[in-house]
Homo-oligomer: A and B are copies of this chain.
Amino acid sequence: MSGPLAGVRVLDMSTVILGPYISQLMGDWGAEVIKVEPPTGDTTRDIGINRTPGMAALFLNLNRNKRSIVLDLAQPAAQEALKKIVKDIDIVVHNFRPRPAAKLGVSYEDLSAINPRLISCTTVGYGSRGRYKDRPAYDDLIQGLGGLAGLIGRYLHDDPKYVPSAVADKTGSLMALSAILAALYQREKTGEGQALEVPMFETLVSFLMAEHLTGPAFEPPLGEAGYVRQLSPNRRPFRTKDGFVCALPYTDRNWRDFFTIAGRPDVADDPLFKDVAARTENTAALYGLLGELMETRTTAEWLADFERLDIPFAPVSSLDDLLADPHLADIEFFKEYDHPTEGRLRMADSPAVFSKATSELQRAAPRLGEHSAEVLREAGYADEDIRKLMEDGVTKGPRA
């Protein structure tokens, strides 16, 4: 078996997290990915811990299943090389804003003139039809502008805060990946490529509004925006006698069982909580009471009863807990492997399971420019030309 995207050729000019996460997933699923890097390399090569310079953990986590070619796109010879490579590419991903893209010769107009079957996806901060189109975009900023930081402040009854994960980047990645694959399907039907634009800001707003567009889903609005249950400060992992538990009695039966084991069977018939409509209406009071009752017993006591009664629950995991999690061990989710230059490494697996395709590690994350010569050769360059491009700093190979 091979990956579902076997035979698909991807050229990724993006950096940092958003684009690299897209192309890594495509690589996990069998696509051949060429990562184009500037001579200084993707920024993430030097962010945080590493064994050797240029091979930091953040880079390793986002760039397996790719080959690396260095191209200094400020030079015309590099733009020319890129165009030769693009002749044989199905999907281009980049995160240049419209003006730099045009300047570097990598706009859809430039590239589709060479390869009309090309699907080109730009992951911008803000859609090019709106007034923020030229503003810089980073995950923190999109979390702020896109409403997530404010929602957290509202939930915490405190100052706005970020989520400690590049949520805006990575929801952008997954939305863009979906859109790219939809366009790839369309190309199978029509034979035509196209340009896609997936903006981080609009993606995050659409993502959040799925639940939070409440009153204003109606015109005139039936109330203010915000999904009450999610914003209730009492919706939280609950403190027990000795730790925390995520407890989520859900059905009428779950709630009755919970109130019974908590020693308050009387509450189950309270009109405030008796069915899903009443509980939704009285979320704050319900979760307040739930929180109080949870403090009366230990984590182990609750977990045993919840498991027995099939009441939805979960422990609260730290990152170390996850690395030792028995379910993740069962499925060998964290995999160790030997990197040719970085030694023994650990990776988190790709989560989707296909019955007739694989999803796996085919190549370890590349050193900067590791495949410059190889990719240029495939694009038709003679060894002598490649040597010249190296001398001129148009491309470069890996450090010896």
Question: In angstroms, how far is the closest chain B Cβ from the Cβ of A54?
Answer: 12
Q: Which single member of B211, B237, B319 contacts A226 (CB below 8 Å)?
A: B319
Report the bound CA distance from A335 to B159 in whole Å: 31
A272 within 8 A of B: no
Number of chain copies forming the complex:
2
Question: In angstroms, how far is the closest chain B Cβ from the Cβ of A119?
Answer: 10
Q: For residue A142, which residues in chain B have a CB less than 8 angstroms away from its CB?
A: 314
Contact A211-B61, Cβ < 8 Å, known A346-B216, A353-B197: yes
A175 within 8 A of B: yes
Q: Do B149 and A183 touch (CB < 8 A)?
A: no
Q: Do B357 and A230 touch (CB < 8 A)?
A: no
Report the bound CA distance from A353 to B162 in whole Å: 27
Q: Do B351 and A315 touch (CB < 8 A)?
A: no
Question: In angstroms, how far is the closest chain B Cβ from the Cβ of A239?
Answer: 7
Within A181-228, which residues are at the interface with B (CB < 8 Å)? Answer: 181-186, 188-190, 192, 194-199, 201-203, 205-228
A221 to chain B: closest residue by CB? B346
Q: Do A186 and B222 touch (CB < 8 A)?
A: no
Q: Do A21 and B178 touch (CB < 8 A)?
A: no
A156 to chain B: closest residue by CB? B161
Q: Do A186 and B4 touch (CB < 8 A)?
A: yes
Q: For residue A151, which residues in chain B have a CB less than 8 angstroms away from its CB?
A: 164-165, 319
Contact A129-B331, Cβ < 8 Å, known A196-B352, A210-B170, A348-B213: yes
Question: What are 10 residue pairs bridging A and B, where the CB atoms are less than 8 Å apart in the complex?
Answer: A49-B217, A57-B218, A127-B353, A131-B327, A148-B163, A161-B236, A162-B230, A165-B207, A177-B178, A206-B348
